[in-house]
Structure 1
Amino acid sequence: MTSDLKLLAQEVLEGNWQDGFTIPCKGLYPFQWNWDSGFIALGWAHLDMERAKAEFRSLLKGQWSNGFLPHIVFHNEAESYFPGPEVWDVGRSPDAPQARTSGITQPPVLGYILELLYEISGEPLLDFIDEIFPALYAWHHYFYTRRDPNKEGLVYICHNWEAGTDNTPVWDAVWEGLDSPEYELNRRDTQHVDASNRPSNREYQHYIHLVELFKSWDYDDVQIAEKSPFLIQDPLFNSLLIRSNESLIHLGKRIGKDVEVAQLQKWQALSKAHFHKKLFSEQRKAYVYFDLRANRRLDALSSSSFTPLLAGIPDAETAGDIVKTHLDKGRFTGVGPSYFLCPSFDPESPSFDPKRYWRGPVWINLNWLIYQGLNRYGFNKVAENVRRDTLALLEECGFYEYFDPRRDLDPGHFRGYGGNHFSWSAALYLDLIRRKAL
C-alpha cells in the first residue's frame, strides 16, 4: 500500500506542477500559495531538489519592497478562484511589486522548511541558501518592525486568512462585533466542492470587508494597526515565526550572515520572553489567542494551540500538561466518541463541526507540525500516534484537503473533504513515510 500511495503522491505533485511552481490543487486553488509552497517544497525535496528550489524562487517573485511576502502570487490566469487580483488591487500600495499578488500574508514556515531542505541536501544547498536568505530575512524584518506595535516580539495578523485557519470558530467572537456590508459575492469555491464543507457566505462577507478596508488605506501598515477590527496575536503564526527564526539563525551562521544573525537572536529573545506569559492559558492547559483590538484573550482551543511545542516555547512540565490534557487520551482524542488526531477545533465545544473546513476536520499540515513539536520534547509515542493517524487517513481516502476526525462514522460515509489531489497532503505524506516509527 505504501509503495502505491507513494507513487500516487508523486503523481499529485507532478500533476499540480506549473513550470516553476506547484498549485495546491486544480480548479479550487489555481495559483501559488505562500505556506502551501513551503510544505510542497519539502515534498519535492524528497523527489527533485531543483523543483523544491523553484518553489521558493517563484514565490519570492511576489515579495514587496518592504519585505512583505503575500499569501498568493497570481502567476497565471484562472477564472476558478475568488477573490482574484482585481479584487485585491494591491497597486494602491507604493510597496507592491510588478507581480500580481494578494495584500495579506500567511504563516511564515519558509525558514523552517529551508533548514529541513538543508538537512536533506547538505552542503550543496548552501549556495541556494545564500541566494534567498536576504529575502527571508527581509520578511522577518517586516514582521518585527511593522507588525509588533507593542514591541513585545509577538506579531499580529490582520486577516483571518493570514492565520491559515480560515474559518476556525476562534474568530466567531470577532465577527460578532463586525457589521460588515452584505457584499454580493462571486464565490467559485462552492462550484468545486460541497458548500456545507466550506465557510458560510456571511463569513466570506467579513473576509471581503477586511480586504476593502485595507484597500481604502492603501495597505498602509500604520493605518491597519490603528484601525483594523481584526488584529490578533495567533499562536500558530508566532510559533512558525519563532521556529523559522531559529532555522535562519542556524543557516545564517553557516553562510556568514553575522549581522542578520545577531538581529534575529534579539528578536527571538524578545518573542520567547513574552509568548508563554501572554498566550498560555493555565485554565485551558494550552496556548490561546490575543485580540489586540479588544484587548482580550480568545480562549477557544484549536490545533494551533499545540504548535508552540514546535517552537520550544513551554518548559518540560508545561509541555507534559499540554500533551496529557489534550493529545494523550485527552480532550482532542475523545472519550466515547473518539477522534483521529488532531481535530482542528475543540471536539468538546458546541462550535465543533467535523465536516466544515477549519471548524473540526483534521488537516495534514497541522498534524505534521504537531508531530514535529511532540518529537522535539521527547513525546515520541504520542508523536507516533499523530503520524499513524495521519497516514491512516491518507491511506483510507487519498490526498484530500481535510478529513473528518470521527473514528466511528456511518458505513459508507467518506471522510475526505475539500479539494482532491491536494499538494501539501501528498508532499507531507512523502516526508512522513521517511520518519521512523517506534
Structure 2
Amino acid sequence: MKLLEKKAIEVLNKNWKNGFSIPCANLYPFQWFWDSGLIAVGFAHFDMDKAEKEIETLLDAQWENGFIPHIVFRSETDSYFPGADFHRSDLHPQSSKKYKTTGMTQPPVTGFVLKELYKISQNKVKTLSYIETVIDKVYLNHEYFFNNRDPKNEGLVYIYHNWESGTDNSPIWDDVWDTMNPPEYTFERRDTTHVDASQRPSKREYDHYLHIIEIAKKHNYDDKKIAELSPFLIQDPLFNAVLIKSNRSLIELYTLIGNNKDKIKQLHDWQEKSIKSFNNKLFDEEIGTYVHYDLRNEKLLKYVSSSSFSPLFAGIPTKERAMSMVKIMIDKFGGSHQYMCASFDPDSERFNPKKYWRGPVWVNLNWMLYRGLNEYGYSDLSERIKKDTIEIIEKNGFYEYFDSRKEMHKNGKAGYGGNNFSWSAALLIDLIHS
C-alpha cells in the first residue's frame, strides 16, 4: 500500500502547476472546480501548503456575484475544446476580470473540502486561521446559488448544462436531448486526439452541449434568462447533495471560528428548506431512491445512477430510506461479477461500462458513497467500496474512470479516459488513511 501511495503522491506533484493542479496532462490542461477541491483533500495528507494554495487559486477566479466557474483557463493552450474564446465569460458583467473562465459551474465541493482539510490537519490552529481567510468566499458561493439558481425558492438549485452536473454524458440526459434539435456545429474535437473516441461523448451530443452554451451566451449568462429559456434545467441530486454537505461543513467551521451568528443562522435556514424539498421532491417511492428532476418539463427522470446514492454522503435520507437505497445499491450494482459502484444502472439498455458517465466506476463518487455508507452504519458495504476502489487502481493505474465488469480487469487495461488522473490519486491517498 505504501508503494501505491507513493505513486499517487508522484501523480499529484507532477500535475501541480505552480499554484494549482490540472486533472491530467493533455486531456484537461486547466484548473477544474470540483477536481481542485478533491485534489486538495489528497494534498492535505502530505503537503498542506499545496492543499491550501489549491483552494486559494480556485477562489481567486470567483466572480463578483459569488459564482465559481467550472474551468479557469490559466494558460493559452489550444489542446482543449471548447476553450476560453468559445465560452466568453467576459459577457457577464460580474465575471472575473483577472482570468478567462467558463460561464458554468460544478458541484460546490469547497465547503466540505475545507472541513476535510481541518480534519486531516496536524496543526488545527494554523489550518483554522487559513480557513478563516477563505470561508466567506465559499459562503458567498452558496449565497449565489440560493439567490440565483432557485427560481421556486424551494431550497433546490438548478443546473443549466450537463457539464455543471459533473456527470457529463450520463444517459439521464438522453431524455433532455430528445426534446432538442440543435444545429450541427463545425468544430475540432481535441479530447478524441488524446483518448479513444469510443470512451467519449459523440459529436451529436457535443452539438447539444454547445447549443446550450450559445443560449446562455446570447443572454450574457444571466441566470434569470437561463431559467426562463434553457432547454436543460435540472435539479440534480448529486449537485444538491454536495451543496447540502458543504452547508453543513460551513456551519461547523463557522461555529469553530466564532462570531458568525448571522451566517450560521442563514445556513441553517437554507439547510432546513433544502433537505425538506430534497426529500419531498427528489425521492421516488416507486424506485426507492433519489432521482433527477427536470425543471423545464416538470417531471422526474426515473433512472438510477451513482448520483442517486449521493444523498447518503450529505446525511439527507432517513434511516428507512437509507435501507431502501442500500438494497437497490446491492441488488443492481453489487453483483459478484461487478466492481462497485457503476455510474449508471447496469440493468438499463443505456448502460455502457466503457463510456465516461454511462456506466464506468468513478473514484470520486465511490469516495462519497464510502463516506455516506459509513455515516449510516453500513460498514461492510462501505469497506467493499473502499476495497474495490483500491483494487481497480492497483490493477490498472490512476485512470479517470474504470470498467465496472470484473472480467475486464485481468490484463490491467480496464482504466479509461485520462491516465495519471489527479482526483483518482488524491482520493486514493485519503482512502488509505481512512
Asked whether the two chains share a fold, i.e. TM above 0.5, the reply is yes
Amino acid at match of 1:369: M
Which of residues 301, 312, 315 is equivalent to 1:312?
315
Distance 1:259 1:410 in 2: 52
- What is the CA-CA distance between 1:312 and the residue it aligns to? 1.0
- Is the counterpart of residue 73 in structure 1 residue 72 in structure 2? yes
**Letter in structure 2 aligned against 1:85:** A
The residue that corresponds to 1:247 in the other structure is 249
Alignment partner of 1:370 is 2:366: no
Question: 1:143 and 2:145 equivalent?
Answer: yes
User: TM-score by structure 1 length?
Assistant: 0.97
Tell whether 2:112 aligns with 1:109: no
Listed one character per residue, the Cα deviations across residues 343-390 of structure 1 (whole Å, up to 9, x for unaligned) are: 000000000000000000000000000111001101011000000000
Give the 3-state SS of the residue equivalent to 2:332 in structure 1: coil
Per the TM alignment, residue 47 of structure 1 is displaced from its structure 2 partner at its CA by 1.0
Maintained 8 Å contact 1:185/1:205: no
Which secondary structure state, in structure 2, belongs to the residue aligned with residue 433 of structure 1?
helix
Describe the SS at the equivalent of 1:358. coil
User: Deviation string for 1:45-99 (max 9, x for gaps)?
Assistant: 0010000000011111110110000000111221211111000011111011111
- Measured after TM superposition, the shift of residue 414 of structure 1 is 1.6
CA RMSD of aligned residues (A): 1.0
Report the equivalent of 1:280. 283
1:126 to 125, 128, 131: 128
Show the counterpart of 2:198: 196
* Match in the other structure for 1:228: 230
Secondary structure at the counterpart of residue 183 of structure 1: coil
The alpha-carbon deviation at position 285 of structure 1 amounts to 1.2
Per the alignment, residue 97 of structure 1 pairs with 96
Shift of 1:411: 5.5
Residue type matched to 1:287 in 2? Answer: Y
Contact 1:399 1:420 in 2 (8 A): yes
C-alpha contact (below 8 Å) 1:10/1:426 kept by paired residues: yes
Q: Structure 1 residue 292 and structure 2 residue 295: aligned?
A: yes
Q: Number of matched residues?
A: 430
Q: TM-score, normalised by structure 2?
A: 0.98
Q: How does 1:2-21 map to 2 (within 5 A)?
A: 2-21=1-20
Off by >6 Å, runs of 4+ in structure 1? none
Which digits, 9 at most, give the CA deviation of each residue in 1:161-215, with x for residues without a partner?
Answer: 0000000000000000111110012210000000000011111111111111110
TM-aligned CA deviation for residue 340 of structure 1: 0.3
Instruction: Write the deviation string for residues 24-47 of structure 1: whole angstroms up to 9, x where unpaired.
Output: 000000000000001100000001
CA distance in structure 1 between the aligned counterparts of 2:352 and 2:119, rounded to whole angstroms: 38
Are the structure 2 counterparts of residues 413 and 429 from structure 1 closer, same or farther at C-alpha, using a change threshold of 3 Å? closer
Give the aligned partner of residue 214 of structure 2.
Answer: 212
2:300 counterpart SS class:
strand
Q: Equivalent residue for 2:30? A: 31
Cα pair distance change 1:237/1:411, threshold 3 Å = closer
Match of 1:389 in 2: 388
TM-fit CA distance, 1:410: 8.2
Counterparts of 1:30-49 in structure 2, within 5 Å, are 30-49=29-48
Question: What's the % identity of the aligned pairs?
Answer: 53
**Long gaps (5+) in structure 1:** none
**Structure 2 residues without counterparts, runs of 5 or longer:** none
Change (3 A) 1:410 1:58: closer
Assess if the C-alpha contact under 8 Å between 1:147 and 1:156 holds in 2: yes
Report SS of the residue matched to 1:290: strand
The one-letter code of the counterpart of 2:56 is R
> Residues 270 and 411 (structure 1 numbering): CA distance in 2 closer, same or farther, change over 3 Å?
closer
